[in-house]
A and B are shown apart, each in its own frame.
Chain A
């Protein structure tokens, strides 16, 4: 554990790790918020969430390949993925909305495999790294360096989140989505076309996943297999933050980003994914113990 000692000996390193974690955390928050939206409104846990992120990443990559700055991938991916999400709803998801959990989880699990493997066939399994081509900035006399793209991504993630909040609060469809989340039957009685609301919700979810995927691709990389960890991260963030609380989602996501970065430094980056899963198991178990003590269930 010499890396652990390094953390204490060089606090500046900790600052670097935390900073990177915070910057990526905002991107996690987007996908997590989407999962929360779908969970709350459609009562489905979308296992294919991460695959939507992955598709967004490829949008950024193909723009980059076409000579366009992948930063434009953020709005483009959001728009394209909205269509993808809407179609997914119309073809698959609407059939499982009112089915039991077993079916919805297995069906979205099948979807995640389907999308992942289609991406592998269509885009090849290679790792892609679209470059937005901004420089880096140094702080503390070069001890801490941050690439501009991370800062831009952070800002873009917050902006996307802002647009989302505005959409949910300020538009008619957004209000219908929130009403349906509270009580679908009451919403139906009040004349809300819940089927349309569901389609929109899934579309909007896909759109924010797409945006976050484009950001991920620029700051890190994209390949067909990056999806599942994002699904797990989103799930983890939602259950820690609790349904319906956007600022808690952001805070948890940032915490997760920082924890992942530090663990990657301590144990090695190759164990980062294992760390994410391990953390999930730990969170689930400790939540169970806490809830049991309060006479409540996690269900």
Chain B
């Protein structure tokens, strides 16, 4: 089976800093993969390269067999590849429901739909998703007034509203109350299993990523350090050293 996402020898530099040095990874359709690495190892940079936030220096990025490394952000998003942000991004002055209602799948955003009202089905779906992430009681609050953790959940719901094929999640558990983390892991699994969305998850919480991901890539200093099943990566000497060395 061809992978849904295939990153080949991607290199990205900021001035003198090499944030990604010839990184290659591939994610098969329907799986949950993890991306770990110490702070500043280039994980977020790689996400940004994949979704088209900045140009890459060299390498290739294929999504469902199509080269996307020269496309721009909205074009890639419309192919069904979305990311959430480490520093959450939501529409702060709009309510939670509105945040979801404008996140409908791009295919529903034809010229004509510009004048349309949100349909009953869309409103229902928005409310269901808010229920799903546990923000239903806050659905009419301004999104900007939510806490950081709640905004992360809202952003996740927005991404789901858009029915992507693949989601890149940048530290989904950051800011989430530890007692709720298990819930969240459970939800992410359901997203993957029930909605069939392929996930690539950046995560610092080892317990989470080991439990969630089926396969893990580890970056250090911008380079791919190790990859493999969770158990193998966990016991990989280089990974342990990288984490210890970074602190």
Which residues of A are at the interface with B, using a C-beta cutoff of 8 A?
292, 294-296
Residue of B nearest to A295 (CB): B55
**Mask: chain B, 150-185; 1 = CB below 8 Å from A; 0 = not:** 000000000000000000000000000000000000
Q: B interface, how many residues as a size bin?
A: under 10
**Mask: chain B, 38-78; 1 = CB below 8 Å from A; 0 = not:** 00000000000000101100000000000000111000000
Chain B residues lying within 8 Å of A296, measured Cβ to Cβ, are 54-55
**In the complex, A294 Cα to B72 Cα: how many Å?**
9
B119 to chain A, nearest CB (A): 33
Chain B residues lying within 8 Å of A295, measured Cβ to Cβ, are 52, 54-55, 70-72
Q: Given A295-B54, A295-B55, A295-B70, output 6 extra A-B contacts at Cβ < 8 Å.
A: A292-B72, A294-B55, A295-B52, A295-B72, A296-B54, A296-B55
A289 to chain B, nearest CB (A): 12
Chain B residues lying within 8 Å of A294, measured Cβ to Cβ, are 55
A100 to chain B, nearest CB (A): 12
Chain A residues lying within 8 Å of B70, measured Cβ to Cβ, are 295
**In the complex, A292 Cα to B52 Cα: how many Å?**
11
**Mask: chain B, 207-234; 1 = CB below 8 Å from A; 0 = not:** 0000000000000000000000000000
Which residues of B are at the interface with A, using a C-beta cutoff of 8 A?
52, 54-55, 70-72
**In the complex, A294 Cα to B70 Cα: how many Å?**
7
Chain A residues lying within 8 Å of B52, measured Cβ to Cβ, are 295
Closest A-B pairs by Cβ, 6 of them: A295-B55, A294-B55, A295-B72, A295-B52, A296-B55, A295-B70
B16 to chain A, nearest CB (A): 14
A43 to chain B, nearest CB (A): 19
Chain A residues lying within 8 Å of B54, measured Cβ to Cβ, are 295-296
B11 to chain A, nearest CB (A): 15
**In the complex, A295 Cα to B53 Cα: how many Å?**
8
Residue of B nearest to A292 (CB): B72
Looking at A292, A294, A295, A296, the one whose CB has the most chain B CB atoms below 10 A away is A295
Chain A residues lying within 8 Å of B72, measured Cβ to Cβ, are 292, 295
**In the complex, A296 Cα to B72 Cα: how many Å?**
8
Residue of A nearest to B52 (CB): A295
What are 10 of the A-B contact pairs (CB < 8 Å)? Answer: A292-B72, A294-B55, A295-B52, A295-B54, A295-B55, A295-B70, A295-B71, A295-B72, A296-B54, A296-B55
Residue of A nearest to B72 (CB): A295
Chain B residues lying within 8 Å of A292, measured Cβ to Cβ, are 72
**In the complex, A296 Cα to B52 Cα: how many Å?**
9
Residue of B nearest to A293 (CB): B70
**In the complex, A195 Cα to B54 Cα: how many Å?**
33
Residue of B nearest to A296 (CB): B55
**In the complex, A93 Cα to B46 Cα: how many Å?**
39
Chain A residues lying within 8 Å of B71, measured Cβ to Cβ, are 295
Residue of A nearest to B53 (CB): A295
**In the complex, A295 Cα to B51 Cα: how many Å?**
11
B66 to chain A, nearest CB (A): 15
**In the complex, A292 Cα to B54 Cα: how many Å?**
11
**In the complex, A294 Cα to B52 Cα: how many Å?**
10
Residue of A nearest to B69 (CB): A295
**In the complex, A294 Cα to B54 Cα: how many Å?**
9
A179 to chain B, nearest CB (A): 17
B191 to chain A, nearest CB (A): 29
B49 to chain A, nearest CB (A): 10
**In the complex, A292 Cα to B72 Cα: how many Å?**
7
**In the complex, A296 Cα to B54 Cα: how many Å?**
6
**In the complex, A295 Cα to B52 Cα: how many Å?**
7
A101 to chain B, nearest CB (A): 16
B12 to chain A, nearest CB (A): 12
B97 to chain A, nearest CB (A): 26
A77 to chain B, nearest CB (A): 39
Residue of A nearest to B71 (CB): A295
**In the complex, A113 Cα to B52 Cα: how many Å?**
41
**In the complex, A292 Cα to B70 Cα: how many Å?**
10
**In the complex, A296 Cα to B70 Cα: how many Å?**
10
**In the complex, A115 Cα to B20 Cα: how many Å?**
50
A295 to chain B, nearest CB (A): 4
